[in-house]
Structure 1
Amino acid sequence: MIVALIIACEVGFWVLLALGLTARYLLRWRRTGMALLLCEPMLELVLFAVTAVDLRNGAEPGWEHGLAALYIGFTVGYGHYTVGRLDAHAAHRLAGGPRPGKPPRHGLARARYEGGLWLRTLVASCVSLALLQAAVLYVGDPSAAEPLRSWQGTTLRIAGIHGLIALSYLLFPKKAPVESARPDEERTPAGR
């Protein structure tokens, strides 16, 4: 049941996002669009409540409860960012707004961008770890809570791997391509 609810929350996230942006930019219903976009956090609250009730009713803690905590954490870390990026693209495509900027591709600017994404992953991981630890304490039995503890390890590995990737952009920055001479700047051969 928890896995089906996680899938429903993910589908609901994208459906609410599409409806909110459609109402906001195509129908010009600004308040309705904003209300739909603000309903998205309710999906995670429902998932949290159902997971807590499932554990309270004596369900054996399993991988699906850990996945729910990870999903909620990463929605907290990346949900607002995703909505903001897609809102900017919708404003550009549907309402004549300015073209959203692309992430930097080279040098220190790219390293800062990747560092910012890693900070989002860190926030997501912290939320996931807190939810998982609360579930471990709630269950009380260390042997029964082992699936939840394994998700804590997975969460730490995700944050660590992403941190190493972000650090690689700082330590080994991609250099901007060297501009080649344009045809009108090329020299003519001698003797002409």
Structure 2
Amino acid sequence: MKSLKVLIVLTLVLVVSALGIAGFNQFKSGYDIGDRASDFRLKDVSGELVSLSDFGEAKGFIVVFTCNTCPFAIANQERIQALDAAFKPKGYPVIAINPNNPEVKSGESYAEMQKVAKDLGVTYPYLYDANHEVYATYGATKTPHVYVLQKEEDALIVRYIGAIDDSVRDAASVTHAFVADAVEALLNDTSVTPETTKAIGCAIKA
């Protein structure tokens, strides 16, 4: 009986280890504060392919993983637009990315992205993560989920990760504008505080 218990325990350990190697670990990490972020090349709703390297004059980026249908994402659409209006002229444009799989979540197709962008009159690139790889590289889990990147020579350094602000849905009740504060801190060469917050929204459907 003791030998059987040992065998069962060893089997469980092997199974868990295999799952970690084959599945969990590849999506486990993502970026941390201070990491170098990699560039990407994704299709915009305009039909053009867009990379961060296209923005030669940018000082950094506000990368927002968002979507068409999540109530939290919808509630933040005007705030995302406002961030772009405030910080694009200062060198920190918004880059929005939809990581959702339309086969998993209806309303998230490329054509529907185009309609949403047109209806909203978006002023920033709205990109389709068609292979659902960029969100995993970054470690995004929610919509919306924000990464503020700062250019340092030839690198893009992660300086903030988390929520847009401290109000889940109502812009009128915002008391801490996390992303805006982070970008202002970078522009003023001061410390970003807080560097991370909890992103609250719908789970990415990929």
Which category describes the TM-score, using the shorter chain as reference length? under 0.3
Task: Flag the structure with more relative contact order, 1 or 2, with Cα contacts below 8 A and sequence separation at least 6.
Answer: 2
Compare the two structures and name the one with the higher helix fraction.
Answer: 1
Superposition TM-score, scaled by structure 1 size = 0.25
Superposition TM-score, scaled by structure 2 size = 0.24
Compare the two structures and name the one with the higher strand fraction.
Answer: 2
